[in-house]
Structure 1
Amino acid sequence: MAVANFILADINLTGVIWWLLVGLIAGALASLVMRGGGYGILGDIVVGLIGALIGGFLVSLIGLGATGFWTEIVVAFIGACVLIAILRMVSGSARRRI
């Protein structure tokens, strides 16, 4: 009887640090562009990581992929902006600054 081995995710320290860095940069940029006061380092990382998931989903819908550091940041940034916009619509707290 053969036993099948499945690898769901290849998680290593370098990959985790890479995604934390991408999340931090994308979250910080998105909070600046969306005219937020920022969410702190941990908040920006969370917004950037969730944004990376949203951005990756949106990019895959149009048949593109993200490879490379800068394209991953752009995709995560777009997703983070979408996430912030959705959160503001749901919470009804769209702060406007002039």
Structure 2
Amino acid sequence: MEISGIFSAIVIGAVIGVLGRLALPGRQRIGILWTIAVGIVAALIGSGIASALGVADTKGIDWVEWGIQIALAAVGVAALERIRARR
């Protein structure tokens, strides 16, 4: 992976992570680095799921893929919040 690929993964991960946090009600007590990490993982897994469903490569914006990624990020943020709240 080239440096531009790593940079774009971080930026897209941050966007997906923030959108996932916004989808949840209330305040989440996790940092921006955890948000980016959850977003990157959600983007990778969401792309895989969208490819498996055959909705990843469409004309224009892939709204279904983005929806899957944001939903996964919301689940990841909620799970991380619960894990951190137990400590």
TM-score (norm: length of structure 2): 0.66
Within 5 Å, give how 1:56-75 maps onto structure 2: 56-65=47-56, 71=62, 74=66, 75=68
Bigger helix share? 2
Shift of 1:28: 0.9
Aligned length: 78
Stretches of structure 1 that go unaligned for 5 or more consecutive residues are 1-10, 94-98
Q: Kindly report the root-mean-square deviation, in angstroms, between the aligned alpha carbons of the 2 structures.
A: 2.9
Percent sequence identity over aligned pairs:
27
Q: Rg: which structure is higher? A: 1
Residues 1:23 and 2:13 are matched in the alignment: yes
Instruction: For residues 4-52 of structure 1, give each alpha carbon's deviation from its aligned partner in whole angstroms, at most 9, with x where no partner exists.
Output: xxxxxxx111111101000001101101212242522201111101101
Counterpart amino acid of residue 79 in structure 1: L
1:30 touches 1:77 (CA, 8 Å); kept in 2?
yes
Q: Measured at CA, do residues 52 and 38 of structure 1 come closer, stay the same or move farther in structure 2, by a change above 3 Å? A: farther
- The corresponding residue for 1:50 is 41
- The corresponding residue for 2:69 is 76
- The corresponding residue for 2:3 is 13
2:35 touches 2:77 (CA, 8 Å); kept in 1?
no
Stretches of structure 2 that go unaligned for 5 or more consecutive residues are none
